[in-house]
Amino acid sequence: MENTTSLEYGRKGMLMQIVPVMLCFFAMGFVDLVGTASNYVQKDLGLTDSQANLFPSLVFFWFLIFSVPTGMLMNRIGRKKTVLISLVVTAVSLIIPVTGDSYMTMLISFSLLGIGNAIMQTSLNPLVTNLISGDKLASTLTFGQFVKAIASFLAPILAAWGAVTYLPTFGLGWRVLFVIYAVVSVLSISALAATPIEEERPDRASGVGECLRLLGRPFILLCFLGIMCHVGIDVGTNTTAPKIIMERLGLPLEEAGFATSVYFIFRTMGCFLGAFILRSVSPKLFLGISVLMMLAAMGMLFVCDTLTAIYIGIGLIGFGNSNVFSVVFSQALMSSPDEKNEVSGLMIMGLFGGTVFPLAMGYAADAVGQAGAVAVMTVGVIYLMYYTMKIKNA
């Protein structure tokens, strides 16, 4: 009887710890609102594609700067406190747009959103290892990505609701999205702060020099560029999908914005199914199929001008790109098992691809239309095909 009671108490205690952490994963997904928000800011302020694409580029620029220092910070103050700092920065970034919607205001907001997310991405996954270990860790992290994706595909729906609804949103319009997510951020801070989590002794801190020296290894460099392409395609599709529909079909942004939700719905499905498929299929085969799906999708986005066909192409990109990060990240770790901290920091720095691709896509779109943006993403897909041929069959 006592053993049963202890077991039930232990399960309840674990649930009380996991729920706040999963709420943090939901908050991690707030970074994906940048694609939707940048389209609305572009419409409100009359910006060019290159000017509007500066917003997602700015968000992901901070991964280059903050990933390795965050690892050092975790070793000083612990993972939980580091996640709390990231949530506070995220909450502030979401409150700022409520005060105004000028170009500079949004630049500051998106910068803080990028900084908060860079800190969160680096510290939240390691925090989970303090609660879950062994064969349950991978499934827990996968579920965390599933929760994160819910926030991602809700963003364009909430923004569109705010854009066409006036009384319930107190005149905020599409920016009600920031208010809702700011409230969730505050709830996340409160829940995690009240949750006791016992952490092990910190790992040795990795320096910037140690990480960058790993780029001298050919396969690590291939993985780093693979992460950049994956994130570039992810952010690029998030930002460009509605623009393709508006350009070719003439739909308003409030309707075209659903394309972003289509992308995240299929990315969520791919992430969930990938956790099971990868148990029986080799990473090389699975990645190859995923990349072929994205290549076919790019071809569709080049030539198709019907809503259904464009949605199919966007869905294929979402499903195909959903597991690229996990495959590339694991391949990098396995190639250097004695330097996992350094490799992890370097791969997170690869999220900087979310800066490079949107900038290039913006200039290409200004020059030749959205087909130019698709061409830039296609270069990333072709590289991932090359990368697939370089990884082992195991």
DSSP 281: S
151-164: b or e for each residue (b if 16 or more CB lie within 10 Å)?
A: bbbbbbbbbbbbbe
The predicted structure's pLDDT at residue 38: 83
Q: Hey, how many other C-beta atoms are within 10 angstroms of the C-beta on 6?
A: 10
The predicted structure's pLDDT at residue 116: 93
Label residue 57 by pLDDT band (50, 70, 90): confident
Report the candidate in 137, 91, 141 with the shortest Cα–Cα distance to residue 113.
91
The predicted structure's pLDDT at residue 112: 93
177-210: b or e for each residue (b if 16 or more CB lie within 10 Å)?
A: bbbbbbebbbbbbebbeebebeeeeeeebbeeeb
Q: What is the mean pLDDT of residues 311-315?
A: 95
The C-alpha atoms of residue 81 and residue 119 are separated, in whole angstroms, by 11
Label residue 188 by pLDDT band (50, 70, 90): very high
Measure Cα distances from 206 to 24, 131, 215 in Å: 25, 23, 15
Q: What is the mean pLDDT of residues 116-135?
A: 78
Is residue 91 within 8 Å of residue 83, measured between CB atoms? no
Is residue 130 within 8 Å of residue 199, measured between CB atoms? yes
The predicted structure's pLDDT at residue 306: 92
The predicted structure's pLDDT at residue 35: 76
Per-residue pLDDT of 12-29, as tens digits, reads 556 677 889 899 999 998
Question: Which residue type does 274 have?
Answer: G
Label residue 171 by pLDDT band (50, 70, 90): low
Label residue 170 by pLDDT band (50, 70, 90): low
The predicted structure's pLDDT at residue 134: 52
The predicted structure's pLDDT at residue 133: 62
Q: What is the mean pLDDT of residues 346-369?
A: 86
Label residue 207 by pLDDT band (50, 70, 90): low
Higher pLDDT, 9 or 350: 350
Is pLDDT above 70 for 8? no
Is pLDDT above 60 for 169? no
Radius of gyration of the CA atoms of the chain, in A: 21
Any idea which of 283-287, 332-336, 386-390 has the lowest mean pLDDT?
332-336
Measure Cα distances from 335 to 15, 34, 133, 304 in Å: 35, 33, 22, 41
Report the candidate in 42, 394, 24 with the shortest Cα–Cα distance to residue 195.
24
Give me 126's structure tokens.
């390691």
Q: Is the C-alpha dihedral spanning 36, 38, 39, 43 positive or negative? A: positive
Per-residue pLDDT of 127-151, as tens digits, reads 877 787 655 555 576 677 778 888 8
Q: What is the mean pLDDT of residues 270-281?
A: 79
Higher pLDDT, 221 or 283: 221
Is pLDDT above 60 for 181? yes
Tell me the average pLDDT of the chain: 83
Report the candidate in 315, 24, 273 with the shortest Cα–Cα distance to residue 144.
24
Q: What is the mean pLDDT of residues 44-48?
A: 83
Is pLDDT above 90 for 186? yes
Among 96-105, 109-118, 249-258, 261-270, the range of highest mean pLDDT: 109-118
Q: What pTM was computed for the model?
A: 0.76
Report the candidate in 224, 169, 204 with the shortest Cα–Cα distance to residue 347.
224
The C-alpha atoms of residue 271 and residue 388 are separated, in whole angstroms, by 19
The predicted structure's pLDDT at residue 3: 47
The predicted structure's pLDDT at residue 216: 87
